[in-house]
Amino acid sequence: MESQARVVIIGGGVVGCSILFHLAKLGWQDCVLLERNELTSGSSWHAAGQIHTISSDPNISRLQGYTINLYKELEELSGQSVGLHNTGGFYAASNKDWYDYLKRERSKARYMGLDQEFISLKELADRHPLIDTSRYIAALWDPLDGDIDPSGVTYAYAKAAKKLGASYHTHAAVIKTNQRSDGSWEVVTKDGTIHAEHIVNAGGLWAREVGKFSGLNLPVQPMEHHYLITETIPEIAAREERLPAGIDYEGNIYFRQEGQGMLLGTYEPKATPWMVGGTPQAFGHELLEPQLEHIAERLELGFERIPALKEAGIKDMINGPFTFGPDGNPMIGPVPGMRNYWAAVGVMAGFCQAGGVGKCLAEWMIGGEPEIDVWAMDIARFGDYASPDYGTVKSSENYARRFLLTFPNETLPRGRRMRTTALYDRLTAKGAVWGDGFGLEAALWYADGADDAHEEPTFLRSRAHDYVAREVKAVREAVGLTEIANFAKHSFKGRDARLFLDRVMAGRLPKPGRIALSPMLTPKGKLYGDLTVACFTDDDFMIFGSGAAQEMHRRWFESHLDGYDLQYANESRRYHGIGLSGPNARELLARITRDDVSNEGLKFRDIRRTFVGMVPAILARLSFSGELGYEIYVEPEYQLKLYESILEAGEGLGLAHYGLRALMSLRLEKNWGAWTLDFRPDYTAAQSGLDAFIDWDKDFIGKQAALAEHEAGPAMKLVTMTIDTDDIDVSNDEAILKDGECVGYVTSGGYAHHVQKSMALGYVPTALAADGTALEVEINGEMYPAKIVGAPLYDPAGERMRG
């Protein structure tokens, strides 16, 4: 065994082998994979081998397309058969909701370049004569779907990696990982130790145990999963062509041809976490005892929909474990707070996803950033609230919901109230309908008291619509209060604070007592943050940003700290607070602070440490609503006092509570984008329009790429549109069309209550980005006329927030 390697990958399942292959392919050959047993000895050997492209996240779908398209090349490179059957596959809907869902998937596929089409039920019956099509109302066809041989695929990755110069060792269990002071790792096996620059945890079923070697507690959980294989079915034996693969959402079942019979798998509603306390080291090429009572009802459904299965004998019943993460998506990337430690865990559909995971991780390790935005898979989307127990609870929820519909206005019930503020019970009593982000509860909208706080999941406007309209009206005409604990706060203190931020942020830094907006870019010029930089003194800065992205940003800041004299801290949980917005906000604020808050005393974009509502506070004059606005940050124990002071002072000023939905509506009529939606690493400063905030006179990360694009002009641009609809709005990922051709896609939108228009933001080619351009947006399969609005529909000159 080598004593030195650039990267050691721990785990020889499909994920580890794909990473080894992609690293070698992209030029890092001095990488070694260590497998405790034979390759495939975790969940990879007993997978059902079905492959498909559909995923809740468009970039994951795109990567699933990449994975499937890689198989032929992999076979040629490795000389190892992957048993690929590109039969094509269908997704069948048995009710209107599912049909609408499939239309939305079709819309996404248009801009992802995936080739999905609806086929008639007659066509479905022709392609899969064993299906009872009377159970369905629609079917979406994807020619890429089919099946593969799981062991073949895993070995093909490993063999191809070896041909490219990388190596792997079986029967080489890693028993310890020790970090040296320079950040490199000693990877210990009983037969020797490899000294490596980086390590990758691809431990699959043992990801938790591998994590613990380095003090990392991962919120992943193996779940039991069943599928059955039938004996020969005469109708199949008589066919020349292989049957296509299929997914029946309502039945929560998937199926495909296996030999001359069929394979049928199901995600049963009673999910069974396996080995909650930890995966035994002795477990290997083994299966679990089938729990027929758990899946009987689902099998019944399957037999109804494929009647031939009723007559077929069951040859094999498989129950095997595989690992889920809290939201069902993989957890990959550099682990925040650790050096040179990479995760590739919780990959629950390895044969659809491992190619994409390997590609992104290899690009990230070698080039510093993946080619596309991998936020939906980034391990940094979770924080320490994502405990092992949280992992078990959420993984079970996700397992049971694998093929269930989640509506755009729906929040999932499990693992809630992990993080709350001091106002939680008060706001609940007031009627708050809660959502959670980064484990923290935040009010989405306010009903009339707790008994009224409910909403039906729907694609259409829900009953919340009128309540949100009321909140928006209060902000535009009087004053609204909203909690702002969910914003991230990053602090930078020390001699080099300004120097450091000047390099990391692309925008002009503010002077003491002031605030500035700034994009943060990657070396390739992609957006990595859209942040609010505040300067207290030249050695004391605070950055406000997306709460969801706080660990991602922490990781970024920490990775650039070397050589600077400053202390950085993610202080998001140290400051909660309340935002005030509306024409009466100044009057209210004046009642609870001794500071001069006139337009001269506290100017737009001023910030200071002071006292508000009797408590120490950071007071900033800012606005994401487009109104006169203030943000008051206080330590959590002062939140209740601040709130009570505001309520008391709000008497007679028309004070109302508003939630995130109202905030997202208010910003729409200002043409303002939001992080994780309109602004993310898929786009650049010039494309998003955030180049308006760049200081071109200084040097900063990503300048070269950003300047080149700024001068040449971007190929696409973020635009705001109004859409002619009656009772439905975009959520995101809808296709934008011009003359029937897909030209772009929606990144966010909804109803702008004050201007009373359905609106959306999205990216379109620059040639189509002019004010007034007529376009179409596809929502639930219907085309709606849309028009680009160049200037904000509300207060285009920004007089309200500056006044």
Per-residue x/- track, 327-366, ligand FAD (CB under 6 A): --------------------xxxxxx--------------
Joined together, the tokens standing for residue 354 give: 């491992």
> Measuring CA to CA, how many Å separate 385 from each of 278, 348, 411, 434, 471?
19, 22, 18, 17, 31
User: Applying CB under 6 A, which of residues 37, 214, 232, 610 lies at the interface with ligand FAD?
Assistant: 37
* Cross-strand pairs, 195: 4, 186
Of 321 and 650, CB closest to ligand FAD: 321
Of 14 and 427, CB closest to ligand FAD: 14
CB of 312 to ligand FAD, least distance (A): 19
Stretch near ligand FAD under the rule CB under 6 A, chosen from 5-13, 75-83, 623-631, 720-728: 5-13
Q: How many alpha carbons fall within 13 Å on the CB side of residue 802?
A: 5
Tell me how far apart the 2 most distant CA atoms of the chain are, in Å.
Answer: 87
Joined together, the tokens standing for residue 213 give: 């070697």
Of 351 and 794, CB closest to ligand FAD: 351
Other C-beta atoms closer than 10 Å to the C-beta of 35 total: 25
CB of 137 to ligand FAD, least distance (A): 26
* Cross-strand pairs, 227: 265, 318
Q: For residues 418-451, b (16+ Cβ closer than 10 Å) or e, as one string?
A: bbbbbbbeebbebbbbbbbbbbbbbbbbbbeeee
Instruction: Report the alpha-carbon distance of residue 486 to residue 547 in Å, rounded.
Output: 5
Contacts for 173 with CB less than 8 Å, ≥ 6 apart? 34, 36, 37, 189, 190, 281
Joined together, the tokens standing for residue 527 give: 């957006």
Of 27 and 280, CB closest to ligand FAD: 280
Stretch near ligand FAD under the rule CB under 6 A, chosen from 198-206, 713-721, 743-751, 760-768: 198-206
> Measuring CA to CA, how many Å separate 67 from each of 60, 118, 456?
10, 23, 37
Stretch near ligand FAD under the rule CB under 6 A, chosen from 42-50, 108-116, 625-633, 669-677: 42-50
Does residue 16 sit in helix, strand or coil? helix
Per-residue x/- track, 554-593, ligand FAD (CB under 6 A): ----------------------------------------
Stretch near ligand FAD under the rule CB under 6 A, chosen from 40-48, 232-240, 600-608, 689-697: 40-48
User: Applying CB under 6 A, which of residues 318, 615, 647, 755 lies at the interface with ligand FAD?
Assistant: 318
| Closest by CA position to 739, among listed 705, 707, 770, 785 | 785
Instruction: For 357, list phi and psi in degrees, rounded to 5.
Output: -60, -45
Residues touching ligand FAD, count (CB under 6 A): 40
Instruction: Report the alpha-carbon distance of residue 803 to residue 798 in Å, rounded.
Output: 8
Counting contacts by CB under 6 A, is residue 47 touching ligand FAD? yes
CB of 4 to ligand FAD, least distance (A): 18
User: Applying CB under 6 A, which of residues 5, 20, 34, 666 lies at the interface with ligand FAD?
Assistant: 34
CB of 131 to ligand FAD, least distance (A): 19
CB of 147 to ligand FAD, least distance (A): 7
Counting contacts by CB under 6 A, is residue 74 touching ligand FAD? no
Instruction: Report the alpha-carbon distance of residue 526 to residue 506 in Å, rounded.
Output: 11
CB of 251 to ligand FAD, least distance (A): 16
Of 323 and 687, CB closest to ligand FAD: 323
Per-residue x/- track, 702-721, ligand FAD (CB under 6 A): --------------------
Of 325 and 629, CB closest to ligand FAD: 325
The C-alpha angle with vertex 407 and arms to 403 and 412, in degrees rounded to 5, equals: 75
CB of 36 to ligand FAD, least distance (A): 4
Does residue 73 sit in helix, strand or coil? helix
CB of 25 to ligand FAD, least distance (A): 18
What 64-67 contacts at long range (C-beta under 8 Å, 24+ apart), as own/partner pairs, is 64/349, 64/352, 64/353, 64/356, 65/112, 65/113, 65/114, 65/144, 66/355, 66/356, 66/359, 67/351, 67/352, 67/353, 67/354, 67/355, 67/356
Question: 225-264: which residues touch ligand FAD (CB under 6 A)?
Answer: 225, 227
Cβ distance 167 to 194 under 8 Å?
no
Stretch near ligand FAD under the rule CB under 6 A, chosen from 13-21, 238-246, 588-596, 635-643: 13-21
Counting contacts by CB under 6 A, is residue 35 touching ligand FAD? yes
Does residue 199 sit in helix, strand or coil? strand
Cβ distance 286 to 254 under 8 Å?
no
Counting contacts by CB under 6 A, is residue 433 touching ligand FAD? no
CB of 198 to ligand FAD, least distance (A): 16
CB of 176 to ligand FAD, least distance (A): 9
CB of 345 to ligand FAD, least distance (A): 7
Give the pairing of strands 245-248 and 89-93.
parallel
Alpha helices (H) in 408-488, listed in sequence order? 424-430, 464-477
Counting contacts by CB under 6 A, is residue 210 touching ligand FAD? yes
Counting contacts by CB under 6 A, is residue 322 touching ligand FAD? yes
Contacts for 692 with CB less than 8 Å, ≥ 6 apart? none
Counting contacts by CB under 6 A, is residue 188 touching ligand FAD? no
Question: 157-176: which residues touch ligand FAD (CB under 6 A)?
Answer: 173-174
Of 330 and 714, CB closest to ligand FAD: 330
CB of 207 to ligand FAD, least distance (A): 7
Q: Residues interacting with ligand FAD, by CB under 6 A?
A: 10-16, 34-37, 41-44, 46-50, 173-174, 202-206, 210, 225, 227, 318, 320-322, 347-352
